[in-house]
Structure 1
Amino acid sequence: MLTIYGAYRSRATRNLWLAGELDLPFTHVPVLQAKRLDDPLAPDAPINTLSPAFLAINPMGAIPSMDDDGVILHESLAINLYLAKKYGGALGPQDLIEDAAMMQWALFAVTEIEANALKISYASMGEPTEEAKETIDAAARSLKRPFDVLEQHLAGQDFMIGNRFTVADINTAEIVRYAQPHAPLINERPALKAWLERVQARPAFKAMWEKRLAEPASGPV
């Protein structure tokens, strides 16, 4: 039985979205980030990233984690690539070349996009300030090249790999999403915008997002 550990307001969204796409039966353990709690070690505290029960699963105390019949993995992108290969059918790689491409785009998204996209997401929360505007502008400048790469890649095709929806679309879109509050980055790139709208219109994304919105907020991840 598959178990996914992690709150909806975390990088677990990537895994929860994919599980929905695959219609996988799974147990969800909504581990919270310890920073969301006043006293994460209180006897009545909900399970969180400092809870001994979770640290027994992931000694780093980071979410998400996964237990698939004794196969324990951490890191959301690695979890998704594993699930797609094991259960994914058309959502997973069909040959070695697609396998390498899915790994490439996952690493590209996390190394070239995520840090600056998160700066935009965090700076866009709350009341706008001059400091927040400067942070967003600087991050947007840094994202111009990788977003142009995505725009070029997506021009003339609907999805990231094999012109079909795959785990590569989930892994990339859930990182690009952090930059969505800065509309020009998306709107100035029509192929990227159309792709993001396309994948976020999928029923499994909408179901995941509805559950995320129902969870108390504590940051944009």
Structure 2
Amino acid sequence: MMTNLFSIFDPSTNILNLSLNWLSTFIGLMFIPYSFWMIPNRHFIIWNFILNKLHNEFKTLLGTKISGSTFIFISLFSFILFNNFLGLFPYIFTSTSHLTISLSISLSLWLSFMIYGWLNNTQHMFIHMIPQGTPSILMPFMVLIETISNIIRPMTLAVRLTANMIAGHLLLTLLSSTGNNMYMYMLLILIFMQILLLILESAVAVIQSYVIAILSTLYSSEVN
């Protein structure tokens, strides 16, 4: 029974005192065996086409300095995409709607970029804090602003993903809870609206995973 609107995001639901909701994060592993089929099916061909497009785009943003670095961001895109889509199915916990997952991903990536940048390209990192053409009197303020904007990057990445996942699920829950006392013709309109919202949420699941991957790639390219 749903005690409040946010109970659908409660990860503490358990069976025999075992919290099993977080196991939904690993359901995406079921999609991996498709790539080992002797004859590639349509699913594998389409997915391989998407990954190749992402590889070419990330390679353009990152350059060719580190071979294979695009696979980090392709894996990030795939992981978030699977979890976003799985959250649209009934009775499957949406792990990306929690800062526990999203902040762990964004913070670990950001810390690795910062440690690598400050240890290997210290001068470049200092130069990046002051935009070209900044007057001398504004330089201290620009350094402060750039430092703050750099520090809040992992939080903005995590909150963007979490807020979008929560907002869509709450809207679907609110609309579905109003159908108990409706007439038949209103119920048909409600079902049609739910289908449209579900299509919109599917698009949001793809867009948010793409945005996280692209922004992470851009943040990585700044430290080189």
TM-score scaled by structure 2?
A: 0.24
* Greater share of strand: 1
User: Which has a greater percent of helix?
Assistant: 2
Q: Which has the higher Rg, Structure 1 or Structure 2?
A: 2
TM-score of the superposed pair, with normalisation by structure 1? 0.24
